[in-house]
Structure 1
Amino acid sequence: DTGHTFLFTLNERYVIDANFEGNVARWINHSCVPNCRAVVEENQQGRRREDRVLIESLREIAAGEELTYDYGISLGERLTPRLKKIWECRCGHARCIGTMLKPKRKPVDRSKNGTT
């Protein structure tokens, strides 16, 4: 109900709960225009429980700059105004879509028509 979680879907069977043996990466915030991305690295021996999440930079990051990535949270239900409010984004970027939820369809880029 609060939208506050430290869960990361690793694969179809396992989820990482960063509240249990997690590391400082759990404090990386969401941004609609991130400087990093989360990448799942599959275990080479096929032990899916040992898959890992890596944080990769998308561009050069200045010293002291906050690390961010797009959470892209997918829900298996209709994205109602209530859910969007629970998962509200506060990244503050001009291109912020207002929610950490992955859109069901591609958002309209209003900057192409001279509108913002």
Structure 2
Amino acid sequence: KKALACSLDVKERQASLLNTMLDNIPDLIYFKNIDGSFIGCNAAFETFLHVKREEIVGRELHEITDKFSELTALEQYMRLQQRSLTQTLVLDEKSYMLTLAPFYNEQHRLIG
């Protein structure tokens, strides 16, 4: 029991550290499931959408805002190609350098 509790504690601390690191990166970072729903994001992405993380996770972009349809189209293209894509995108009159990358699990299966 002690080993299991220690292992869980280590995993919780690692997850907390990773979230803290992501939240301190000023770039917009988000990650999605294969179905297009958000798994997570950093604080900068929350601020960009003007939506709390709890309201982002589990939903698709079109459920949160009717803006940024270009982003959804690029994500769909990247999923079809199953390779990274770098593009400059103008959103809300600002230019963003966007890098989209497929997300694989340990078995190299596409998961997002």
Tell me the TM-score normalised to structure 1 length. 0.22
The structure in which a higher percent of residues are helix is 2
Q: Highest relative contact order (Cα 8 Å, sep 6+), 1 or 2?
A: 1
